[in-house]
Each structure stands twice: as structure tokens, then as C-alpha cells.
């Protein structure tokens, strides 16, 4: 019969193997609100879309680029499509995920109005 400390050690190791978690920073914004506000810079272009994706093999091995998509990169991609664009309003964010047996892709997509603030 095993001693009590050995059983606890086995239980601890087993628990560590079946549990886990992570935290991921997906972006930060200089201005953000979910409320209607009167701040309305005139957009240079409406309905601009940007995205940033991460493709992985077996869910663990990045295939060209980053391991996880980045929301800031998606916003920067949208703003880069408008000359001198440096602000995005009425932004809507999406996450797209697909899996094909051993390969998967996760994308952050953002769509909104891009303008310029001096």
C-alpha cells in the first residue's frame, strides 16, 4: 500500500496534467466606448476592413508569422488602407476560426470608418 504523501503527489501531478489556462493580451485602444458620444471626426473612408491572422499546425506550431492573432495589427491594417489614417470610429470586431484536421487559423477582423486627426 502506498503512503499518504505519495498518493498526494500522484494526485497533484495528475491534476497539473489535466488542468491549465492562459491569458492573452489582444490589444489596447487610445479611445474606446460602447456608448454614443458626440466625438465625430469626419471619416476619410467608411467601411474599411483590416485583419490579422495566425495559422498553426497541430494547434501548436505557427506557420509563418505569429502564434496568435493581434487585434492592434488588424486595426493598423485597416488604417494603413487610408492615406494618413490614424483613427477608427464605429469599429466592429470579429473573430474567425477554422480547422482542417491538422491545420487551424484564427483571425481578428475589424471594420469601421477611418479618418485623420491632427
Provide the whole-model pTM: 0.73
Can you tell me the distance from the alpha carbon of 9 to that of 49, in angstroms, rounded to the nearest whole number? 52
DSSP single-letter state for residue 78 = H
Can you tell me the distance from the alpha carbon of 102 to that of 104, in angstroms, rounded to the nearest whole number? 7
Q: What is the pLDDT of residue 109?
A: 93
Below-70 pLDDT ranges, the chain: 1-4, 16-17, 19-24, 40
Give per-residue pLDDT as tens, 71-87: 999 999 999 999 988 88
Q: Which of 113, 117, 116 is nearest to 49 (CA)?
A: 113
Can you tell me the distance from the alpha carbon of 88 to that of 112, in angstroms, rounded to the nearest whole number? 6
CB atoms within 10 A of CB 101: 6
Amino acid at each position: 500500500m502506498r503512503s499518504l504523501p505519495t498518493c498526494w503527489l500522484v494526485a497533484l501531478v495528475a491534476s497539473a496534467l489535466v488542468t491549465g489556462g492562459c491569458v492573452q493580451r489582444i490589444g489596447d485602444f487610445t479611445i474606446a466606448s460602447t456608448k454614443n458620444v458626440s466625438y465625430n471626426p469626419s471619416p476619410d473612408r467608411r467601411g474599411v476592413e483590416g485583419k490579422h491572422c495566425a495559422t498553426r499546425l497541430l494547434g501548436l506550431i505557427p506557420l509563418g508569422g505569429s502564434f496568435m492573432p493581434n487585434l492592434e495589427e488588424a486595426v493598423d491594417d485597416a488604417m494603413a488602407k487610408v492615406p494618413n489614417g490614424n483613427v477608427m470610429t464605429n469599429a466592429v470586431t470579429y473573430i474567425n476560426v477554422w480547422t482542417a484536421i491538422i491545420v487551424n487559423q484564427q483571425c481578428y477582423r475589424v471594420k469601421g470608418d477611418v479618418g485623420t486627426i491632427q
